[in-house]
């Protein structure tokens, strides 16, 4: 990897398409905060509104959800002075670089994306062109900042491999070493938080059952009730984490507990091995309420002043643009666009 020539920089994004869950918190936000606080990388975090509209979004809802997502970032511990926080549509380079990458990426690559297959389903004739091109825009998000590392949940791994392919093909086709080959960062016990009703399905805002997920806005009683009713098997918890291998629902609850308490799964098993569900579930609910309530209280407080959120996002967009603009210009120049060298 030609990493040394690139500033260590993290980029990640979340779609402001509503319904932020515990999966988003543990799989994404909490890790974004940890990376910011470690101070090892410049951090660029983006609310990807252009991605959101690849499926229909009511404009008023999109606006509200973008502010809600911004509040979620800040309430979770993203400091908009230390990290760059903004919404994608306000930095024109995302759409501009995405066009270049639409011309680099191949139809066949896009057609193999499992998220495309899942979202377009059998009715792909009727899906938007944007949904098909989604991964090229995602590659543009990342490479517009020459990001070296991208923290995401497991579900985004394939898109990151495609981002590497796009960077490599651009570099190869134009005979340059311009875009970094970005490393995905998929680590920790909660890269794949599963549904509370079915341990083989990802916890998702789009699941029809609200009992399957913890929403970032759920109150303490709702959180407790959802964990109490979470599907499990009848066995008590084993002594060793390995013995949860074939017990997806049980393992999911242990993973959530470990991630929330910031301990390894082995340390958690040393404490709770042998516990029955009547003992473990209330502990988990209490911990979740303790960690999540301050975030949702802070979100509520911030959302009472939307103008303040808009100011933060506008400042973030300005800072993002200052990093992006020279990289876009150089890309145009490499591609032979007259006037780009100015």
265 binds ligand AMP (CB under 6 A): no
Residues with Cβ within 8 Å of 171's Cβ and at least 6 positions away in sequence, in order, are 177, 178, 179
Q: Give the interface size with ligand TRP as a residue count (CB under 6 A).
A: 13
Site for ligand TRP in 131-160 (CB under 6 A): 138, 141-142, 150, 152, 156, 159
- Interacting partner of 27 out of ligand TRP, ligand AMP, none (Cβ under 5 to 8 A depending on kind): ligand AMP
Does residue 201 carry a catalytic annotation? no
* Phi, psi at 180, each rounded to 5°: -70, 155
Kindly tell me the sign of the dihedral angle through the C-alpha atoms of 289, 291, 297, 300. Answer: negative
The strand ranges marked E within 134-275 are: 149-151, 183-185
Q: What is the rounded end-to-end Cα distance, in angstroms, of the chain?
A: 30
Which residue of the set 119, 157, 169, 291 is catalytic? Answer: 119
Which residue of the set 157, 169, 205, 291 is catalytic? Answer: 205
The strand ranges marked E within 80-212 are: 84-87, 149-151, 183-185
Quote the least distance from Cβ 154 to ligand TRP, whole Å.
Answer: 11
Instruction: Map residue 336 onto helix, strand or coil.
Output: coil
Nearest Cα to 97, choosing from 7, 2, 15, 167? 167
Q: Both tokens of residue 311? A: 């100011």
Specify the stretch interacting with ligand TRP by CB under 6 A; choose among 12-20, 102-110, 119-127, 302-310. 12-20
Site for ligand AMP in 149-168 (CB under 6 A): 152-153, 155-156
* Residue placing its CB nearer to ligand TRP in the complex, 46 or 269: 46
Quote the least distance from Cβ 2 to ligand AMP, whole Å.
Answer: 25
| Half-sphere exposure of residue 280: CA atoms within 13 angstroms, side-chain side | 26
- Interacting partner of 203 out of ligand AMP, ligand TRP, none (Cβ under 5 to 8 A depending on kind): ligand AMP
Residues 185-214, mask of contacts with ligand AMP (x by CB under 6 A): ------xxx--------xx-----------
Does residue 226 carry a catalytic annotation? no
- The catalytic residue positions are 119, 202, 205
């Amino acid at each position: 990897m030609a990493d040394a020539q690139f500033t260590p920089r993290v980029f990640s994004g979340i779609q402001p398409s509503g319904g932020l869950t515990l999966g988003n918190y543990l799989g994404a936000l909490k890790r974004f905060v940890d990376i910011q606080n470690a101070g090892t990388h410049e951090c660029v975090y983006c609310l990807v509104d252009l991605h959101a509209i690849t499926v229909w979004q009511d404009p008023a809802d999109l606006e509200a959800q973008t502010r809600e997502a911004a509040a979620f970032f800040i309430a979770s511990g993203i400091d908009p002075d230390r990290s760059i926080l903004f919404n994608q549509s306000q930095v024109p380079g995302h759409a501009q670089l995405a066009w270049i990458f639409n011309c680099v990426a191949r139809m066949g690559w896009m057609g193999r994306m499992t998220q495309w297959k899942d979202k377009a389903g059998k009715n792909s004739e009727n899906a938007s062109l944007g949904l098909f091109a989604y991964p090229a825009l995602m590659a543009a998000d990342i490479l517009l900042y020459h990001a070296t590392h991208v923290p995401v949940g497991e579900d985004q791994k394939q898109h990151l491999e495609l981002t590497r392919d796009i960077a490599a093909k651009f570099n190869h086709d134009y005979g340059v070493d311009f875009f970094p080959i970005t490393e995905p960062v998929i680590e920790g016990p909660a890269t794949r938080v599963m549904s509370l009703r079915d341990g083989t399905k990802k916890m998702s805002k789009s699941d029809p059952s609200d009992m399957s997920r913890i929403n970032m806005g759920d109150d303490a009683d709702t959180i407790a009730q959802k964990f109490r009713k979470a599907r499990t098997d009848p066995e008590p918890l084993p002594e060793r984490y390995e013995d949860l291998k074939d017990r997806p629902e049980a393992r999911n609850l242990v993973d959530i507990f470990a991630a929330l308490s910031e301990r390894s799964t082995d340390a958690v098993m040393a404490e709770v091995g042998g516990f029955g569900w009547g003992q473990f579930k209330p502990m988990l609910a209490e911990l979740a309420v303790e960690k999540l309530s301050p975030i949702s209280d802070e979100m509520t407080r911030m959302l009472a002043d939307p103008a303040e959120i808009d100011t933060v996002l506008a400042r973030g967009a300005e800072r993002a643009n200052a990093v992006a603009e020279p990289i876009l210009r150089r890309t145009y120049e490499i591609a032979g666009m007259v006037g780009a060298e100015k």
